[in-house]
Structure 1
Amino acid sequence: MKIQVDRNIHIELLVPAFAERLYTLTNQNRVYLKQWLAWLDLVKTFEDTETFIETAVHQHNHNQATTFAIIYHDKLVGLAGFNHFDYQHNLGAIGYWLCASCNGKGVMTRVVEKLLEYGFVENRLNKIEIRCAQQNVKSRAIPERLGFTYEATLRQCEWLYDKYVDHAIYSLLASEYKPSKRPDC
């Protein structure tokens, strides 16, 4: 599955063909990403990346989650998608990360806009959440920019290598969703 975001960005369902590029990108950005992502110590080898992708494919095939590779100017630059779906309550939770060199270019905002469309229109979700570390200003800017409501802070809910961090919880309801007016291409 490939979804065009704009003329320079598209997202593709994460599949085994991305393993080598994803492993390389992760290693190149390991120090940068480790500021906010606790899973980096779980992905140390190429085989760990393959296992992660196999899990992502399994989750997608069983309607549990969907992970997309972000392609910007024909290069893999990060991942984004729904970390989980709760179809009993029509709820989805978006997660994302982007390589250091692509920050500040609007890439993730455009990708998340497209994920909102995928969630609300194609999957008929009622509510989409984004959770991120309270101090992660760049990550928090995405839901704030896209009109999400700040709901709460979960105190010390994640162990991040040497300390607990709080999470900010944002949500957007289907009734509040306004499709992007920016042209796709």
Structure 2
Amino acid sequence: MYAYPWGDDGAELRPLEPWPAEEFLTHMDRGREFIGQHIGLPDLVTDLESSRSFLQSYAEKAAADTGRIYGIRADGTLVGGVLFRTMDVEHGNAEAGCWLEPSAVGKGLVTRAGRMIIDWAIEERGIHRVEWQVWAANEASIAVARRLGMTKDGVLRESYPYRGKRHDVEVWSVLAPEWRAGEQAS
């Protein structure tokens, strides 16, 4: 398997595949409460079978070119991830997302990983618009969208039913020309 190391802090980005399902479940168990504050991933990955099934669904998306999932590692330990929940290459649209366990917060890992996958999607796959949907109360994820140079498109009011309550979702996006201009300015 290949990895993309960044900097000298031991962080790297790697595709997540079905075979390390036990490691993925262990990671999810470490961060279950924290991650579950804003996204449903911990509710989907509850045992080894569901962990393997979740990762297999992304292996199938990767094979069909309709999504991707990558693990963020710090000093060899899986601590979070970024993904393209959806990817429509024909129409040039993708939806990116992220998660982290508490030990990895505040280190810039998601922003760096987000930059890598967005750059890949735009430059290698020809994606024109990358979208970031985030629960309106998730200030950390909104801050990542801003750091990635995204623009707030609007709010989908009470569109996210989660654990018995409906939540507002903010939609952020970056277009390929904006991305390229932002990267050149960096």
TM-score of the superposition, structure 2-length normalised?
0.92
For structure 2, the 5+ residue unaligned runs are: none
% identical aligned pairs: 25
* Counterpart check, 1:169 vs 2:171: yes
**Separation in 1 of the partners of 2:39 and 2:184?**
28
1:36-73 CA deviation, whole Å, 9 max, x = no partner? 11242232211110111111111101101010111122
Matches within 5 A, 1:133-172: 133-172=135-174
How many residue pairs match? The answer is: 182
The question of whether the paired residues in 2 share the 8 Å contact of 1:83 and 1:93 is answered with yes
Q: Residue type of the partner of 1:78? A: G
- The Cα shift of 1:139 comes to 0.7
Q: Which moved more, 1:37-46 or 1:153-162?
A: 37-46
Matches within 5 A, 1:119-138: 119-138=121-140
Residue 55 of structure 1 corresponds to which residue in structure 2? Answer: 57
Note closer, same or farther for the CA distance 1:70–1:181 as it changes in structure 2 (3 Å cut).
farther
The question of whether the paired residues in 2 share the 8 Å contact of 1:152 and 1:170 is answered with yes
For the aligned residue pairs, the C-alpha RMSD in angstroms reads 1.6
1:50-102 CA deviation, whole Å, 9 max, x = no partner? 11111111110110101011112211111212111112320111011011111
Q: Report the secondary structure of 2:34's partner residue.
A: helix
Note closer, same or farther for the CA distance 1:115–1:98 as it changes in structure 2 (3 Å cut).
same
Matches within 5 A, 1:1-20: 1-7=2-8, 8-20=10-22
**Separation in 2 of the partners of 1:94 and 1:5?**
20
**Separation in 1 of the partners of 2:135 and 2:58?**
23
- The Cα shift of 1:14 comes to 1.0
**Separation in 2 of the partners of 1:30 and 1:103?**
14
Q: Residue type of the partner of 2:183? A: P
Higher relative contact order (CA 8 A, sep 6+): 1
Off by >6 Å, runs of 4+ in structure 1: none
- The Cα shift of 1:180 comes to 7.4
* Counterpart check, 1:179 vs 2:183: yes
For structure 1, the 5+ residue unaligned runs are: none
Q: Report the secondary structure of 1:104's partner residue.
A: coil
